[in-house]
Amino acid sequence: MSKFFTLLLLSVPILLISCGGTGYHEDMSIEESPEAKTLNEINRKDAFDYLNAVRNKPASFSDELGIDLSGVVTRNQLIWSAELAKAAYDKAKDMAERNYFAHVDPDGYGMNYKINAAGFDLADYLMPSKSANHFESIAAGTNRNTGEIMIQQLIIDKGIPSLGHRKHLLGMTCFWADAEYCGIGFYKKPGSTYTHYICVMIAKHK
């Protein structure tokens, strides 16, 4: 039986300023084996493209996803960030290799710390502790999961009363409405608890 699990951070209202950038591109800075590189590249691009399509016309995906998105406001196309993509890939790989599934890694570090360390500068008040998280959605699943399928499941957010993943990915709160930078990492490890892992970062510069 296929299993699918999701997890999202808790957030507080903030206001940050973002700057310009470009669309999706391959990131040469990520160190991967040829097989892992191909799998990550295909799945994260598919996930990124699908996410942008839903953000562009949310209501048109209501039937496909089986949820009512008619009241969701259109958001700008996300801008691909090499820094966020590296942090996201490293997190997805780390969860698979060390066989855990959480925003905070076994060493106590959260994604705010890792995003900042990757070169995507966050405001000082978003760094209250090394375990802080404000910009990450993660999912893991067995069997034939792909980046696009995982984005669909995160948006559907079945069993999550707060709809936190949907709000994060579609910019449905003041906190995430103008977050325009995105990085996605995908990793597969047969024999790990969930086999497929995805990490989606949508954030803003300080």
And the tokens for 38? 């191909």
Residue 66 lies in a domain: yes
Query: Please, are residues 200 and 87 in contact by the beta-carbon 8 Å criterion?
Result: no
pLDDT given for residue 197 in this prediction: 96
Residue 6 lies in a domain: no
pLDDT given for residue 46 in this prediction: 97
Residue 197 lies in a domain: yes
Residue 168 lies in a domain: yes
CA atoms within a 13 Å half-sphere pointing along the CA-CB vector of 180: 18
pLDDT, mean of each 10-residue run, the chain (206 residues): 45 26 52 85 96 98 98 96 96 96 96 93 90 94 88 95 96 93 95 94 89
Residue 29 lies in a domain: no
Q: Which domain, by its residues, includes 189? A: 34-203
Residue 7 lies in a domain: no
Residue 137 lies in a domain: yes
User: Residue 99: what residue type?
Assistant: N
pTM of the model: 0.85
Instruction: State the total domains in the chain.
Output: 1
pLDDT given for residue 117 in this prediction: 92
pLDDT given for residue 205 in this prediction: 82
In CATH, what number is assigned to the domain containing residue 127?
3.40.33.10
| 87 vs 93: CA distance, rounded Å | 10
Query: Please, are residues 180 and 79 in contact by the beta-carbon 8 Å criterion?
Result: yes
pLDDT given for residue 49 in this prediction: 98
Residue 45 lies in a domain: yes
pLDDT given for residue 22 in this prediction: 40
